[in-house]
Amino acid sequence: MSLNFPSSPFIGQVYYNSTTQYFYEWSGSVWKSVPQTSSSHIKVIDDISSSFNGVNTSFAITSDAQVMYPESSKLIRLNLGGVIQDPSSDYSVSGSNLIFSTPPAAGLSFSAIILGTTYNTFGTDIQIVGEVLLGSSPSWTGTSGITVSQQSSGTYRVIFDSSFGSQYDYIVNANIMDHDVSAIGITRHTDHCEFTISDTNTGNAIDTGSLSVSIINKP
């Protein structure tokens, strides 16, 4: 049986074959199988290189478009621009976000896998999912019972229909839509979540486009 490996691979690129259910890594001369006691525990992180711009350092971690929550940066094997990165100094993990110590430059290649234990709560323990249309009169599309309001320019509040026991009982994943360069600050409360959105280049508040939000119970 022949395997259809990617053409013109870069060193450290990871390839998964769904037929054999094995992962392979390009050494620069040959494809080598990635040793792992169970391939089902390995997740390929979706390519985020199209978002690299030399400014942003934080990127959502997804696999097949599903949000992932690695327990440690040491569980991620990451290749940036053909160079294996050090999880103790080059990047870290915060919830479902991958944080680089240095903003990746545009044009750099990216390849990464999650090894071993990880938990994916998307679609199983998700409590709230939807989208906030930003502006002076914001609107919500998604899970019923949720209301939204603008607190000030660039600051929005998503109000739950029932309270959590603690603000630490849930995890928030949010992404600004229709903007290339943005930063999101998130403050959790038992009955609502507050988001502060700004342009990372200018520092100006963002009040256009929309904000995707998912709120997930901790396991």
Q: What is the mean pLDDT of each run of 10 residues along the chain (219 residues)?
A: 67 64 69 54 85 94 84 83 86 90 94 65 57 93 89 95 85 80 86 92 90 80
Supply the pLDDT for residue 58.
Answer: 94
d(CA 59, CA 93): 10
3-state secondary structure of 44: strand
Residue with tokens 């097949």: 64
Supply the pLDDT for residue 52.
Answer: 95
| pLDDT tens string 14-33 | 666 656 556 666 777 777 66
In the beta sheet, which residues pair with residue 42?
none
Question: Are the C-beta atoms of residues 23 and 116 closer than 8 Å to each other?
Answer: no
Supply the pLDDT for residue 124.
Answer: 40
Supply the pLDDT for residue 77.
Answer: 84
